[in-house]
Chains A and B, each alone.
Chain A
Amino acid sequence: MSDFYDWPGGREAMLRFGPAGGPVVVLALPLFEEANRTRTFAVGLLRKLADRGVAGLLPDLPGQNDSAVATEHAMLAGWRAAFAAAAAATGRPVHSVTMRGGSLIDHDARVVSRWQLAPAKGDALIRELFRTAQAAGEPVEIDLNAWSDEGGPVTIAGNRISRPLLRDLNAADCVRDGPVRVVRLETDPAIADRKVEGAPLWRRNEPGDDPALASILADDIADWIARCAS
């Protein structure tokens, strides 16, 4: 069901799934192009959670998806404030479910727990963004340590992205305190609480889906939420 939420910078759309009571998952997609590649998968995951009695929200963040905020005005602080507002507006116990770079934006939200799929550090995402621009023959010229650089937005794979956002993301990391569960693909050598078989949809050149993986993850999340509550 389509709905909206308010945050200090305005109003954004969100999708709502599952029961009107009980714990609710607020989901943060991966960032930039990776969001387009995983949105279908993430919506499927929230539907499967709803089938298991867990409610879910997928908020648009300012400057992403259908937001009225231009992409080039997106800021990390704005994403974090908006995500926190969407979580707070539920008035229910919130569990944040984040994927890849989405794990960089749930810092300000009051949540019972965090569940992260293949969480990525900001500097790794920035490196990959710059590599994409380079491969497309449009190398990014920016000094990520020059905090007083007030140059205009840079274009990467068709997206205009502000310099402050690139610098903030480059320095950002995931929350590791409190109840956190990290799930990664078996092919990823980084440390995780659980490894699951599957392909990295966020790197696929065409948007895809993996309902079997979504089912496994929905079971894992539902079980994790039940354990957090007990």
Chain B
Amino acid sequence: MARAPSALPNPQGSRYRADTMTKHHAAASVDRTVRAVLKDVLALGDSRVAAFDDNTPLFGALPELDSMAVAGVLTELEDRLGFLIDDDEVDGEMLETFGALRRFVERKVNG
């Protein structure tokens, strides 16, 4: 049975501290996961993906990212991070740059 969160021990010390650490961790792991998904689904090299920054253009600039690959990237992100993306959330903007995609995924993860 689920217990009320307040009844759980807090190994990180104060509540405030635990929340801060959780969010910090999420941002780093989202960045890592988005890079890993692009690498795995588009079959890109490690160095190429590691060099992506927020302004790196994706859709329309990466020949590997065609419409079929878009579906694979989004579904793989859903599976790895445990959220669902509605079709009407998918637009050209969220896939325009690496930064846009990373920020979109961060918003989904942090609900």
B21 within 8 A of A: no
Q: Which residues of B contact A203 (CB under 8 A)?
A: 40-41, 72, 75-76
**Chain A residues touching B, range:** 20 to 34
- Would you give the 0/1 interface string for A136-179, flagging 1 where the beta carbon is closer than 8 Å to chain B? 11000000000000000000010000000000000000000000
A189 within 8 A of B: yes
Q: Which residues of B contact A132 (CB under 8 A)?
A: 67-68, 71
A161 to chain B, nearest CB (A): 15
B79 within 8 A of A: yes
Please judge, given known A-B contacts A189-B80, A189-B82, A203-B76, whether A131 and B87 are in contact too, CB under 8 Å: yes
Count residues of chain B with CB under 8 A from any CB of chain A. 23
Q: Report Cα–Cα, A208/B82, bound state, in Å.
A: 26
Q: Which residues of B contact A199 (CB under 8 A)?
A: 39-40
**Known contacts A131-B87, A134-B90, A199-B39; 7 further A-B pairs (Cβ under 8 A):** A33-B68, A135-B71, A187-B33, A187-B36, A188-B80, A200-B40, A208-B43
Q: Which residues of A come within 8 Å of B, CB atoms? A: 33, 127-128, 131-132, 134-137, 157, 187-190, 199-200, 203-206, 208
